Amino acid sequence: MSGGLLVAGTTSDAGKSVLTAGICRWLHRQGVHVAPYKAQNMSNNSAVVVGSDGRGGEIGRAQAMQAAACGLAPDLRFNPVLLKPGSDLASQVVLLGEAVDTITAGTFRHLRPRLAETAYAALAELRDAYDVVICEGAGSPAEINLRAGDYVNMGLARHANLPTIVVGDIDRGGVFASMFGTVALLDPADQALIAGFVINKFRGDLGLLQPGLDMLRHVTGRPTYGVLPWALDLWLDAEDSLAYGRVLGRPAAPHGTEWLDVAVVRLPRISNATDVEALATEPGVRVRLTIEPAELAAADLVVLPGSKSTVADLAWLRETGLADAVAAHVAAGKPLLGLCGGFQMLGRAIHDTVESRRGSVPGLGLLPIEITFDPRKTVRQSVGTAHGSLPVRGYEIHHGYVSQADPTLTPLLTSDDGAGEGAVLGAVHGTHWHGAFESDEFRRWFLTEAARLAGRTGFRVAPATSFAAARERSLDLLGDLVEEHLDTDALWRLIETGPPPGLPFIPPGPPPSR
């Protein structure tokens, strides 16, 4: 068979990514050869995929997570178009893993036909190779100002004749109005593909919700396939850092007698914020994202994460007083960790004629290095060791590289080719590698060292925390939620037979002149 389904949403962060992953996990556990797909993702959270030619390429982090739900290695075709915002007005375009252009809203329409053609070809290849492809939309299908050139929501559904379910986040409020409005704003041909709804993040008595579900079916002629409950344990692999609350996950009680408090600066253009999720899986480690200088003063460990706009975010650190708070933290002898763009900010100077085009700007001066940006983007998976022999795996996605460094500076990591990577100077640590803290032994060593530097003598790492196992538990929980709370028989009929015939048109739809 060559079945398919599109998971659309009433808004961004309605639950499309997790529902897609949950459906993928459910099908995978049934023995179905299933793959995920998102025609276009806009996110600075990306993962590195090694293509068939051996080169590294990027896809959205959510699609890498969905691939894991399917028991698959990530594939560039799972997310053929990735837009990485560098400012409010411009985004880098990554096409089948390779950065090809930088666009604005005004220039996007000229590139869109090429992107759509690539996206449609990738989906066709996947449908030939897999029994089922579960597609994820982007934003909302009712963004009617963008419908004419859409190839990720109803444009994709129309092209591939995909039955579509709409997921809404009831925790935001107004879920019934947003579901009805989503359908009613679409034209008849689009509406004919909207098969029904899923409600996400419900807390309370389902009986109190039932009258609303009944009325929604009455006014739209479409069923609700299920109601997914709020699940506190679903926080790994967030599509966007804004999906986090102030504190990541549910930190377990400390293994020792003290907690370790970690403050992660929520940069305006934060990228790959998922790096710090691995720290948050450790018992006794409280990880919070913040923009408050006072919270850095109270933290044991401060993290400067990755950034899609290193120079602009460095200027923001100075404008907000956070740069002074970081310097004071280091002056007190407490540990600081810089990751990728955050690492680049720690040096003496940044020479950037590529990303910000601001030329040479001073860094924070906390490491004796200088960073130079290269038009060629480094995108690769990395393997090495830390602290002598601790195995570490990660990946790199950056334009900046260390162009000057004090030769006596100690590297944080050593790659398998023997080259040093990153730096350690006193309590200051930095690396270009993303994902390194998913390596359990390295993470435990680093947190132990951070606790020592912070004076948390009562902190102890748990001896057997496994990040890979935590991710698998999260994916299995998604599959469990789909099996237990959705009408999987009805979903299977949609996947197997396509859009139900005779779905009613809900006025008003678009104006006749369209």
- Is residue 505, in this structure, part of any structural domain at all? no
269 and 176, same structural domain? no
- Catalytic residue list contains 399: no
Distance CA 235, CA 233 (A): 6
pLDDT score at 110:
84
pLDDT confidence of residue 272:
87
Weakest-pLDDT range from 20-34, 237-251, 367-381: 237-251
**79 within a domain of the structure (yes/no):** yes
Question: CA 206 to CA 196: how far, in whole Å?
Answer: 18
SS3 label, residue 394: strand
Q: Are residues 57 and 151 in the same domain?
A: yes
In a domain, 485, yes or no: yes
Percentage with pLDDT > 90 across the chain: 73
The answer to whether 244 and 258 have CB atoms below 8 angstroms apart is no
Domain boundary pick from 461, 481, 509: 461
Of 413, 436, 461, the residue that ends a domain is 461
Q: Using CA atoms, how far apart are residues 266 and 261, in angstroms rounded to an integer?
A: 16
Question: What is the pLDDT at residue 514?
Answer: 46
Q: Are residues 154 and 271 both part of a single domain?
A: no
**420/486 same-domain check:** no
Q: Of 329, 398, 399, 434, which residue is the catalytic one?
A: 434
Q: Write the CATH number for 412.
A: 3.40.50.880
Same structural domain, 29 and 169: yes
Q: Is residue 241 part of a domain?
A: no
Mind listing the pLDDT tens digit for each residue in 231-282? 877 766 666 544 444 777 778 899 999 999 999 999 999 988 889 999 999 9
**Whether 455 and 369 share a structural domain:** yes
Could you tell me the CATH number of the domain that includes residue 492?
3.40.50.300
Q: Does residue 325 share a domain with residue 275?
A: yes
Q: Is 89 part of any domain?
A: yes
Residues 99 and 11 in one domain: yes
Helices (H), 203-286: 206-220, 277-280
Q: E strands within 86-140?
A: 90-95, 98-104, 132-136
In a domain? residue 467: no
Tell whether 502 is covered by a domain: no
Q: Which domain holds residue 65?
A: 3-234+472-497
Residue type present at position 341:
G
Active site residue 398: no
Among the ranges given (85-94, 380-389, 474-483), the one the predictor scored with the smallest mean pLDDT: 85-94
Does residue 110 share a domain with residue 85? yes
Tell whether 195 and 322 lie within a shared domain.
no
- Structural domain contains residue 252: no
319 and 296 share one domain: yes
Give the Cα separation of 291 and 366 in Å (integer). Answer: 20
In the chain, the number of structural domains is 2
Residue from 340, 399, 429, 485 carrying the catalytic annotation: 340
Per residue in 41-74, pLDDT (tens digit) is 988 888 888 877 777 888 999 999 999 999 999 9
| Residues counted in the chain | 514
CA–centroid distance for 390 within its chain: 27
378, 478: one domain? no
- H-helix or E-strand spanning residue 155: helix 154-160
